[in-house]
């Protein structure tokens, strides 16, 4: 008779044999009867069942700003051109291009030896004339001189004082000072050079008050007035300014009108740099405005696809002005109507559409 241990061992062996037999049976079944894959659904079948995939938007009324771009140079609204008043030798120049200066600060010194000597001589003459007037007053009171002689000495004193004022002014001009707060943008003088009368030695510009000069054609000049809004695009932002003044007459050589645009101070607006100025020339109010890519064109016609239920209607529209990727619809479309935004390349009048809710549609189905 078998022991208990042998019986348990035989049962385990039997169990493993049953499991192996079942696995072998499943394998043979799958080989004999392979699982069939569901047939692939074609794009055309999906379109036939659901329609052409599109995205939509609702037409809305909004204002559209029409701007024209012009290019001009940035400059300071306040500029000091430092010039030589007399023919003098440049003794020293105390600033460099890019230096910030304050009003009253010394920029350059001219030799001014002759002017200083002339002022000193006039000063001595004035002192002598003043003493002479005092002496004449004493003599007049004593009756030694007449009123005419006293008046003559006073007139002489006044003439010498005027001469001293002029020579002192010429001498003071040999010390050249800044009249405004600003930045030195030009330097045309070096120590030892001769400064001729009227020669520009230095240029100082006040960068706290900037402006841009642009030239306008007559067609746009009619729409632009003082205070008109202006956008100046920079690398990372837009700075806003306004038209400060307009020339009433065109330049006879070019036929263009000069416009001056007032700008706020900005680190990126540097005097002498060329920038784009987008001037508002027209603002349309209350019309339907669409992204210009939505409007389709065929020959001389412009049209959009209006959605009604699950079909579209080809609608001819009349276009107005366009700007910044938007275009005004003057007629043919009302606010609140639903139109195809993307996916219109394969559409036709009366086509059935499948409105996509999760993302932009292309011209092809994405099953």
Per-residue b or e along 272-297, where b marks 16 or more CB atoms closer than 10 Å to that residue's CB: eeebebbbbbeebeebbbbeeebbbe
Query: Do residues 363 and 78 touch, judged by C-beta distance below 8 A?
Result: no
Question: Both tokens of residue 300?
Answer: 């001389």
CATH, domain range 51-64+286-355: 2.40.420.20
Q: What is the pLDDT of residue 65?
A: 83
Mean pLDDT, range 70-93, rounded to an integer: 86
pTM for the predicted model, two decimal places: 0.55
Tens-place pLDDT, residues 247-289? 999 999 999 999 999 999 888 888 888 999 999 988 777 688 8
| pLDDT of 362 over the 50 cut | no
Q: What percent of the chain has pLDDT over 70?
A: 79
pLDDT in tens, 172-201: 557 888 999 988 989 998 888 887 888 889
Give the pLDDT of residue 166.
59
State the pairing for strand pair 52-58/353-355: parallel
Gap between the Cα atoms of 264 and 242, Å rounded: 10
Q: Residue 191 has what pLDDT?
A: 85
pLDDT band at residue 366 under the 50/70/90 scheme: very low
pLDDT > 70? residue 331: yes
Sequence-ordered alpha helix ranges (H) in 191-350: 218-221
Amino acid 28: pLDDT: 66
With H, G, I as helix, E, B as strand and everything else as coil, classify residue 135: helix
Nearest to 356 by CA among 315, 297, 364, 348: 364
Same fold, 51-64+286-355 and 85-204: no
pLDDT of residue 268: 84
Q: Please indicate whether residue 113 or residue 280 has the higher confidence score (pLDDT).
A: 280
198: Cβ contacts below 8 Å, ≥ 6 apart: 83, 84
Domain 68-77+206-283 sits in CATH at 2.40.30.170
CATH topology of domain 85-204: OB fold (Dihydrolipoamide Acetyltransferase, E2P) (2.40.50)
Residue 243 and residue 220: Cα distance in Å, rounded?
13
| pLDDT above 70 (res 5) | no
Question: What are the structural domain ranges in the chain?
Answer: 51-64+286-355, 68-77+206-283, 85-204
pLDDT at 321: 81
Among 14-18, 92-96, 104-108, 220-224, the range scoring the smallest mean pLDDT is 14-18
**What are the φ and ψ backbone dihedral angles of 340, each rounded to 5 degrees?**
-75, 130
Q: How many CB atoms lie within 10 A of CB 1?
A: 3
Helical spans, DSSP H, in 197-272: 218-221
Q: Using CB atoms within 10 Å of the CB of residue 313, give its burial: 0 to 12 exposed, 13 to 18 middle, 19+ buried.
A: middle
Say if residue 236's pLDDT is above 70: yes
With contact defined as beta carbons under 8 Å apart, do 112 and 171 qualify?
yes
pLDDT of 151 > 90? The answer is no
Q: Is the model's pLDDT at 347 over the cut of 90?
A: no
* pLDDT of res. 367: 41
Asked whether the predicted pLDDT for residue 361 surpasses 60, the reply is no
How crowded is residue 153: how many other Cβ atoms within 10 Å of its Cβ? 19
What pLDDT score does 365 carry?
38
C-alpha angle 107-109-110 in degrees, rounded to nearest 5? 140
Whether the predicted pLDDT of 161 surpasses 60: yes
Taking residues 38-58, report their average pLDDT.
69
């Amino acid at each position: 008779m078998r022991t208990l241990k042998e019986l348990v061992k035989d049962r385990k062996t039997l169990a493993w044999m049953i499991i192996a037999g079942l696995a072998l049976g499943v394998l043979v079944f799958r080989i004999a009867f392979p699982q069939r894959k569901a047939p692939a659904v074609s794009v055309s079948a999906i379109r036939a069942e659901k329609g052409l995939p599109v995205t939509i938007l609702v037409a809305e009324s909004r204002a559209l700003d029409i701007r024209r771009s012009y290019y001009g140079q940035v400059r300071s609204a306040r500029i000091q051109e430092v010039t030589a008043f007399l023919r003098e030798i440049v003794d020293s120049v105390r600033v460099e291009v890019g230096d910030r200066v304050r009003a009253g600060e010394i920029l350059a010194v001219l030799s001014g030896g002759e002017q200083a000597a002339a002022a000193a001589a006039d000063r001595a003459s004035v002192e002598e004339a003043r003493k002479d007037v005092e002496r004449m007053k004493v003599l007049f009171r004593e009756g030694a001189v007449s009123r005419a002689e006293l008046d003559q000495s006073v007139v002489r004193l006044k003439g010498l004082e005027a001469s001293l004022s002029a020579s002192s002014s010429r001498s003071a001009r040999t010390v050249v000072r800044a009249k405004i707060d600003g930045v030195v943008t030009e330097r045309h003088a070096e120590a030892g050079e001769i400064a001729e009368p009227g020669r520009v030695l230095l240029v100082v510009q006040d960068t706290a008050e900037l402006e841009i000069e642009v030239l306008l054609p007559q067609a746009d000049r009619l729409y632009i007035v003082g205070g008109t809004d202006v956008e100046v695009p920079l690398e990372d932002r837009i700075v806003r300014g306004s038209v400060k003044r307009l020339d009433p007459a065109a330049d006879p050589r070019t036929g263009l009108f000069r416009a001056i645009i007032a700008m706020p101070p900005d680190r990126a607006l540097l005097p002498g740099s060329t920038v784009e100025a987008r001037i508002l020339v027209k603002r349309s109010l209350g019309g339907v405005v669409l992204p210009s890519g939505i409007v389709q064109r065929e020959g001389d016609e412009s049209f959009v696809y209006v959605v009604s239920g699950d079909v579209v209607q080809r609608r001819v529209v009349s276009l107005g002005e366009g700007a910044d990727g938007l275009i005004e619809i003057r007629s043919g479309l009302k606010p609140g109507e639903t139109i195809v935004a993307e996916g219109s390349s394969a559409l036709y009048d009366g086509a059935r559409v499948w409105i996509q809710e999760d993302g932009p549609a292309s011209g092809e189905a994405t099953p």
